[in-house]
Amino acid sequence: MMDTILENRTIDMIAAHFKTAPHKIGRIHEADAEIVDLGGGSPHYLAVTTDALVEEISSGLYDDPYFMGWMLAMVNFSDLAAVGADPLGLLLSISYPMNGDSRFAAKLARGVSDACNKLGTFVLGGDTNQGGELLLSGCAVGLVPKQSVLTRKGARAHDSLYMTSRAGLGNVYAFLKLGRMRFLPARSFYKPVARIKEGRIIREFASSCMDTSDGVIHTIDTLMRLNRRRFVLYGDWAAILHPIAYRVCRAQGIPAWLVLAGIHGEFELVFTVSPQRERPFLSAAAETGWTPLKIGEVCEGQGVSIQGNGGATPLDTAAIRNLSEQAGSDPQAYIKRLVQIAQESGIA
């Protein structure tokens, strides 16, 4: 099921060479961060993850050093949020060209620092190198109470499908930036925050969870494959899309659905909650002033569907995800193909 997705095949091919760690919880693809039993009766698991910014920089999507720093921190902490972990901090692995000026490094460091401050966490250390190309990799560590750890597995039929908040800004940012459709300054509206705070509530109630860093459709497709259930997404785009994302789509004639299908997501969490836990979950969320967004439901069967007025339309999410293999090399062709798939599915 998971190997229908090309990206997973590369990872699986590499991972096939490695022995399974007996103290690791769950298998490959099953959680946003690695979950490790610390032994010795610790009430916590260690959560650890690594994420690099590569295509984002080589494609020109991120060109501002402050923004790169912010995103480097957030992309790593978002993986911790998705397993319900409290962050201990971040390690940085930075490689930049010899001729890189020190102002660049300073701005980058400020972006990382502001992101950590925003989440109440810290840079613990790192490694710097002189390289021909700019390369930014991070590693976040955190702790999660054993009884509350979240993985991508555990969703059942009749669970409700939730998202922390309205999505689509990540892809709107990418479309504007790469498509040079700059009718508004892209950077001004896109400065995402990893959902660490919400993750602490979600971990007490959800049956499965994953972040939307590769886009909402990608996330739902992965949850569908791992849980072998049918995931139905409500087609009410005005309710699911961030208001700016929705407005940009209308102004630019972009099918709204596209900003969920593109692979430059944001750091919302998509998660499932069983019917019995839904009321206490919503109460706990309301106490913090947060209103989770219901975006669909889990049903018997398999596949992903969009629920419109005329019933549920199945969506070829494997085709959408496998398109992303070419996104870095030719963003324009990628967007065009996405629009085609949408039209063929009668969804756009």
- Cα separation, 18 vs 135, in Å, equals 25
Q: Binding to a second copy by residue 318, rule CB under 8 A?
A: no
Q: In whole angstroms, give the CA distance from residue 16 to residue 297.
A: 34
Closest contact distance (angstroms) between CB of 91 and a second copy is 4
Residues 2, 4, 89, 146: which binds a second copy (CB under 8 A)? 89
Spatial CA neighbour of 136 closest among 58, 54, 75, 32: 54
**Contacts for 37 with CB less than 8 Å, ≥ 6 apart:** 23, 24, 25, 45, 46
* Binding span for a second copy by CB under 8 A among 49-57, 156-164, 187-195, 291-299: 49-57
Contact window for a second copy (CB under 8 A) among 44-52, 160-168, 171-179, 186-194: 44-52
H or E element in which residue 190 lies: none
Which listed residue (74, 83, 115, 139) binds a second copy by CB under 8 A? 139
Q: Is position 239 an interface residue for a second copy (rule: CB under 8 A)?
A: no
Comparing C-alpha atoms, which of 89, 30, 50 is closest to residue 209? 30
Shortest distance in whole angstroms from residue 75 CB to a second copy: 10
Tell me the closest approach of the beta carbon of residue 53 to a second copy, in angstroms.
8
**Continuous segment of H or E residues that includes residue 312:** strand 311-315
Instruction: State which of positions 190-219 bind a second copy (CB under 8 A).
Output: none
**Percent helix / strand / coil, the chain, rounded to 5:** 40, 25, 35
Residues in 52-71 at the binding interface with a second copy, rule: CB under 8 A: 52, 54-55, 58
Which member of 2, 4, 11, 290 binds a second copy (CB under 8 A)?
A: 11
What stretches of 83-236 show up as alpha helix (H) in DSSP? 102-118, 169-178, 186-189, 196-202, 216-227
Q: Sign of the CA dihedral 34, 219, 322, 27?
A: positive
Binding-site member from 132, 185, 310, 311 for a second copy (CB under 8 A): 132
Least distance (Å) between residue 63 CB and a second copy: 16
Cα separation, 220 vs 314, in Å, equals: 13
Summary count for the chain: helices (H), strands (E): 14, 13
Position 313 contacts a second copy (CB under 8 A): no
Strand partners, 51: 138
- Give the N- to C-terminal CA distance of the chain in Å, as an integer: 26
Residues 19, 180, 183, 311: which binds a second copy (CB under 8 A)? 19
* 322 near a second copy (CB under 8 A): no
Place of tokens 């109460």: 283
The correct pick among 5, 45, 48, 338 for binding a second copy (CB under 8 A) is: 48
**H helices of 3-91, where?**
6-15, 55-58, 65-82
CB of 264 to a second copy, least distance (A): 14
Binding track over 90-129 against a second copy, x by CB under 8 A: -xxxxx--x---x--xx-xxx-xx--xx---xxxxxxxxx
Q: Which residues bind a second copy (CB under 8 A)?
A: 10-11, 13-21, 23-24, 28, 33-34, 36, 38-40, 42-44, 46, 48-52, 54-55, 58, 88-89, 91-95, 98, 102, 105-106, 108-110, 112-113, 116-117, 121-133, 135, 137, 139, 141, 143, 328-329
